[in-house]
């Protein structure tokens, strides 16, 4: 009989985990400074919190290979957001109320201790499902204990299907609120709220009233926070059709900005947008750190998609931590400044391109940062090529005629998810100057344009034996200035 994918790590056979680890570590596509699993599949970031100076990041994890099965919470911590230490698995779903996995959720601090909230996923033989909302304590020494009175919320409220999950809790005016992603019985996505005076006993408050009553069939991983005088909701709606530059991945993520009245649960939305325009970005979560910054991490991956690295028995990574702000009508995402710690000495490149392509670096080890500007732009198109070899390259193209920026991974030999297209794009207004910051980590690329107002997060799987050059090009003329840094290891 085939082995069940609902097996916890406690049921590993002798030597099984070591074998998995040995196989995954041989993969040169494994990143060196992005949080990733040593083996098995990771998905959403969970329980983000800074407690007692230390940053804790948990993530959804299935140990036994690159597939979605019994989800655990894996755990890493850091004092500087760039060097990460692996800790023992935080949540192993051993109880009936979480019989099919410890699903996603957030964290808060209460009385000097961390409280973790998560969804106990339950499936029944007839194919139906339910969800329980659960709590665990994060102690100062990093250990995690499940709350003895779990589940804190049993089952789902009337009017919703079994798809209710991903608690995100915050405190406002002495009341705790728990926001959940949900599916109404008419199979549309929604956000619902519970409230509590002690963060342990919860009662159903109602549904958030938005101006998006029929926007996809399920909303996952909701988040809510105040940012620069506005209220922001972030969530991952499923079932939205591609439209112009938007919604090209299997599932996508939006932020919605406006004013939220928590008493009446009314959200007056001003606008919504996609957070990230890349191929691989889902299920972000934010938290406020002790210095007051609002930081975001997301899963660099998509559900229901197979990846070229799957054969090594590991999958996915998390984005670099990004500091958020709202400027004008735009969300701005900046990689945290602590990342500078991982840089080697800078190498500088300067020049003018005139209808040509110039090699900046001939053979990188694919772990670097580029911080650059294009100036004096008098070109139809110009841009950057990463992972460039004779056969393949990732092209970032600024198109002054179409007023858009494109990321094109069509030339790669290792393709995946091509049914969702091989190019991503975003509106871009040509001006005299554009700045671009790029982080490459083996098979991960994060691109921040114009100070983080346009962001593309993607995977690419270059051929293992090919050279990886960095090129700049222009059809027309443009000046460029590049600071190039090798990046050192942040996680083993």
Active site residues: 44
Q: Of 164 and 434, which has the nearer Cβ to ligand FRU?
A: 164
Binding mask 263-282 toward ligand FRU (x if CB under 6 A, else -) reads -------------------x
Which residues are CB-neighbours of 312 under 8 A, at least 6 positions away? 23, 24, 26, 27, 29, 30, 66
CA–CA gap between residue 133 and residue 69 (Å, rounded): 19
**Angstrom distance (rounded) from CA 140 to CA 125:** 40
Closest distance between ligand FRU and the C-beta of residue 74, in Å? 12
Residues 105-144 as x/- pattern, contact with ligand FRU by CB under 6 A: --------------x-------------------------
User: How many other β-carbons are positioned within 10 Å of the β-carbon of residue 209?
Assistant: 15
Q: Minimal distance in Å, beta carbon 318 to ligand FRU?
A: 12
**Binding mask of the shown chain, residues 406 to 435, with x at each position contacting ligand FRU by CB under 6 A:** ------------------------------
CB of 165 to ligand FRU, least distance (A): 5
Nearer to ligand FRU, 111 or 304 (CB): 304
User: Closest approach of Cβ 8 to ligand FRU, in Å?
Assistant: 14
Phi and psi of 452, rounded to 5°? 100, 20
Query: In this complex, which beta carbon is closest to ligand FRU, that of residue 60 or of residue 210?
Result: 60
As measured in angstroms, the least distance from the Cβ of 441 to ligand FRU is 21
Task: Give the C-alpha separation, 57 to 86, whole Å.
Answer: 10
Nearer of residues 70 and 232 to ligand FRU, judged by Cβ: 70
- In whole angstroms, give the CA distance from residue 246 to residue 254: 10
Report the residue number, 164 or 445, with the smaller CB distance to ligand FRU: 164
Residue 103 binding ligand FRU, by CB under 6 A = yes
For the segment 361-400, give every residue that binds ligand FRU (CB under 6 A).
none
> Considering only residues 220, 280, 385, 393, which one is a binding residue for ligand FRU as defined by CB under 6 A?
220
| Residue list 28-87, contact with ligand FRU (CB under 6 A) | 43-44, 60, 71
Q: At 13, is the secondary structure helix, strand, or coil? A: coil
Among 122, 283, 318, 397, binds ligand FRU (CB under 6 A): 283
CB of 388 to ligand FRU, least distance (A): 32
Does position 100 interact with ligand FRU (CB under 6 A)? The reply is no
- Give CA separation, 425 vs 185, 238, 276, 407, 488, in Å: 35, 20, 10, 6, 30
CA distances from 438 to 277, 341, 406, 444, 454 (A): 14, 16, 14, 10, 12
Length of the chain: 492
**Min CB(220)–ligand FRU separation in Å:** 4
Q: Which residue has the tokens 């591609």?
A: 242
Question: Of residues 72, 100, 165, 437, which one binds ligand FRU by CB under 6 A?
Answer: 165
Q: How far is the CB of 446 from ligand FRU (least distance, A)?
A: 19
Tell me 173's DSSP state: T
Size of the site for ligand FRU (CB under 6 A): 14
Q: By C-alpha distance, which of 296, 300, 277, 322 is closest to 428?
A: 277
Q: Give the nearer residue to ligand FRU in terms of CB position, either 199 or 221.
A: 221
Q: What DSSP assignment string belongs to 372-397? A: EEEEEEEEEEEEEEEEE-SS--EEEE
Examine residue 443 and tell whether it contacts ligand FRU (CB under 6 A).
Answer: no
437 binds ligand FRU (CB under 6 A): no
Residues contacting residue 468 through CB under 8 Å, at least 6 positions apart = 363, 364, 365, 366, 386, 387, 388, 389, 462
Residues 292-311 that bind ligand FRU (CB under 6 A): 303
Judged by CB under 6 A, the residue of 104, 183, 286, 333 near ligand FRU is 104
Integer CA distances (angstroms), 290 to 49, 79, 87, 188, in order: 9, 12, 22, 37
- Cα 49 from Cα 29, distance rounded (Å): 29
- Burial (CB count <10 Å: 0-12, 13-18, 19+), residue 18: exposed
**Which residues contact ligand FRU by CB under 6 A?**
43-44, 60, 71, 103-104, 119, 165-166, 220-221, 282-283, 303
């Amino acid at each position: 009989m085939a082995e069940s994918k609902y097996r916890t790590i406690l049921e590993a056979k002798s030597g099984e985990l070591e074998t998995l680890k040995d196989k995954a570590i041989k993969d040169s596509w494994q990143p060196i400074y992005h949080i990733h699993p040593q083996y098995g599949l990771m998905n959403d970031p969970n329980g983000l919190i800074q407690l007692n100076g230390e940053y804790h990041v948990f993530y959804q994890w299935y140990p036994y290979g690159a597939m979605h099965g019994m989800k655990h919470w894996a755990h890493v911590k850091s004092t500087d957001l760039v060097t990460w230490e692996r800790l023992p698995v935080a949540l192993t779903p051993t109880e009936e109320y979480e019989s099919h996995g410890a699903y996603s959720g957030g964290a808060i601090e209460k009385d000097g201790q961390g409280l973790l909230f998560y969804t106990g996923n339950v499936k029944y033989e007839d194919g139906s499902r339910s969800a329980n909302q659960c709590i665990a304590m994060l102690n100062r020494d990093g250990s995690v204990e499940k709350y003895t009175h779990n589940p804190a919320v049993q089952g789902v409220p009337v009017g919703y299907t079994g798809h209710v999950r991903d608690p995100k809790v915050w405190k406002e005016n002495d009341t705790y609120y728990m926001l959940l992603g949900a599916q109404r019985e008419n199979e549309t996505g929604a956000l619902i709220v519970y409230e509590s005076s002690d963060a342990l006993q919860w009662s159903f408050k109602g549904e958030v009233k938005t101006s998006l009553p029929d926007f996809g069939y399920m909303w996952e991983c909701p988040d809510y926070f105040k940012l620069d005088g506005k209220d922001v909701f972030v969530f991952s709606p499923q079932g939205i059709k591609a439209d112009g530059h938007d919604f090209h991945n299997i599932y996508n993520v939006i932020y919605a900005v406006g004013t939220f009245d928590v008493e009446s649960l009314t959200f007056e939305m001003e606008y919504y947008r996609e957070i990230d325009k890349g191929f691989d970005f889902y299920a972000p979560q934010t938290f406020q750190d002790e210095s007051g910054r609002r930081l975001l991490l997301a899963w660099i991956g998509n559900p229901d998609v197979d990846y070229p690295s799957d054969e090594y028995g590991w999958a996915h990574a998390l984005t670099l931590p990004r500091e958020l702000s709202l400027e004008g009508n735009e969300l701005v995402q900046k990689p945290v400044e602590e990342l500078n710690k991982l840089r080697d000495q800078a190498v500088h490149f300067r020049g003018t391109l005139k209808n040509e392509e110039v090699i900046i670096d001939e053979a990188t080890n694919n772990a670097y940062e580029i911080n650059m500007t294009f100036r004096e732009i008098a070109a139809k198109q110009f841009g950057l090529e990463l992972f460039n070899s004779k056969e393949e390259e990732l092209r970032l193209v600024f198109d002054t005629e179409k007023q858009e920026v494109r990321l094109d991974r069509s030339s790669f030999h290792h393709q995946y998810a091509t049914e969702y297209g091989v190019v991503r794009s975003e509106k871009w207004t040509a001006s005299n100057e554009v700045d671009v910051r790029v982080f490459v980590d083996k098979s991960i690329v994060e691109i921040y344009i114009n100070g983080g107002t346009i962001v593309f997060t993607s995977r690419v799987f270059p051929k293992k034996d090919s050279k990886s050059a960095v090129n700049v090009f222009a059809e027309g003329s443009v000046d460029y200035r590049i600071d190039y840094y090798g990046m050192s290891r942040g996680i083993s």
